[in-house]
Amino acid sequence: MNNYLIGQDRLSVVRIIDILKNQESLALSEESAARIKKCRTYLDEKLERHKSPVYGINTGFGYLQNVKVEDKDLVQLQYNLLLSHACGTGEEVPSEIVKLMLLLKIQSLSYGNSGVQVETVNRLIYFYNHDVLPIIYTQGSLGASGDLAPLAHLALPLIGEGELRFKGKKMSTKEWYDQTELSPLELHSKEGLALINGTQFMTAYGVHILIRAIRLNDFTDVIGALSADAFNCRIDPFKNLSHAIRPHKGQVNTAKRIFDLLKDSEICAEENKQVQDPYSFRCMPQVHGASKDAIDYVLQVFEVEINSVTDNPNIFPDEDEIISAGNFHGQPLALALDFMSIALAELGSISERRTYQLISGQRGLPNFLVKNAGLNSGLMIPQYTAASIASENKQLATPASIDSIVSSNGQEDHVSMGANGATKCLRVMNNVERILSIELLTATQALEFRRPLKTSYELENLIAAYRNVVLPHENDRLLATDIQASISFLKGYTI
């Protein structure tokens, strides 16, 4: 198994995709280990020389910032901090996102500005490499003092508390330690705060969604092109001339992709077409492209964040500075996640409109794409389902970042709500996959009524693979099964 050396290079979303795909293990680079040790040594010496209060190191937290904690109680302070802040509730965070949280927390601690011990970071690395995944809950973070509650649950197994999932089994951390030669750690001053301050909950959700969005972008164009051919659309709107005079990157790329998908289609080459096509077909470059550009912006925001230090206070050994600031505030992510929810929701919205057009009995296609309509309802109701999901996405796309609730007795008086933005953005992503799966089901059925004409080579290959899991619709059958098979196909098919 290959190692990814933390701190040796800048971490990108593409690199994370490779790490996950190749199941690479993690290890600290020599540079990172040296930085972490240097910072910890500086902090210990600083506390020895200066007995004055330093926020988060020898004081209480939040509104309790002015309460000094004695040196003898600093270890207990870390223990109390994790226990008191582990207040998560709701559904469990998916394991793949928990694993990303571990990776991103390790990355953030590797810069040597957080004051943790090397042993603490190496234990997190052990958890990552051996799939020891803490149980974390979706609700509890305001996205401002970092993701306090979720990160507290992430850190609990370090001190032998909380629950985790190991080899598919949920168990108490104490039970897991009984099966190993390891023991819980004793956290030193500042470590508890370094672990629970940070944006790794929001960031992990965002990275997970981005990884899927990168793939979904291409699938959206492919399914849209398939629908366009099934609806006997013109290829003209995808020619480069129109897009060269309005050269938004996403628009230009989408037009080229769809044009390339359709240029060798027998159906597309047919004459006697309508003068214009509905916007949901004709404006795919403009709509899909705008979402692509939005997602590219979100990618830039998150790639800055995953290479940043986001806990508090920040420690600068070379400058002899300990600065209490606000890098834990999730506003950049909250705005980006809201933007991504809107961009993804629009992909679902336009997809549902194409599904509606395909079943409407136009352009030589039968009502609801079934031969014996009346006796059979055909694909009438899958469009209802897509419409319902698209409507839910409109509700979920309402920005979370415009909200704020005062906490910590007024000390934390503006929060980002980025964690709520993250969890609902994942719901939007899942919904868009479902809507596109219904469009795929509908478009492939519509193509059956264009036979013996064929669409393009690439699209015919897609249809052939799809027909291995979903057969043409001859008579009414249990369509929920077809929709679920279509969702699974979309998740697993490589374009």
Residues that are catalytic: 55
Residue 469 has a CB neighbour count (10 Å cut-off) of 14
Pairwise CA distance, residues 224 & 355, whole Å: 10
DSSP per residue, 34-71? HHHHHHHHHHHHHHHH--S--TTTSB--GGGTT-B--G
Coil, helix or strand at residue 3: strand
Question: For 262-266, which contacts have Cβ atoms below 8 Å and span 24 or more sequence positions?
Answer: 262/225, 262/228, 262/229, 262/235, 262/238, 262/455, 262/456, 263/235, 263/456, 264/456, 264/457, 265/229, 265/454, 265/455, 265/456, 265/459, 266/453, 266/454, 266/455
453's enclosing H/E stretch is: none
Reading the block at residue 189, the tokens are 């001053």
Helices 200-230, 148-155: crossing angle, 10 deg rounding: 110
Cis preceding linkage at 53, omega within 30 = no
Which backbone phi and psi does 197 adopt, to 5 degrees? Answer: -80, 140
Q: In sequence order, what are the residues at sequence separation of 6 or more whose Cβ sits closer than 8 angstroms to the Cβ of residue 370?
A: 376, 377, 378, 379, 473, 474, 475, 476
Torsion of CA 156, 175, 99, 22, to 10 degrees: 150
E strand segments, 110-202: 133-134, 137-139, 163-166, 169-172
CA distances from 484 to 211, 212, 441, 459 (A): 22, 18, 10, 21
DSSP 89: E
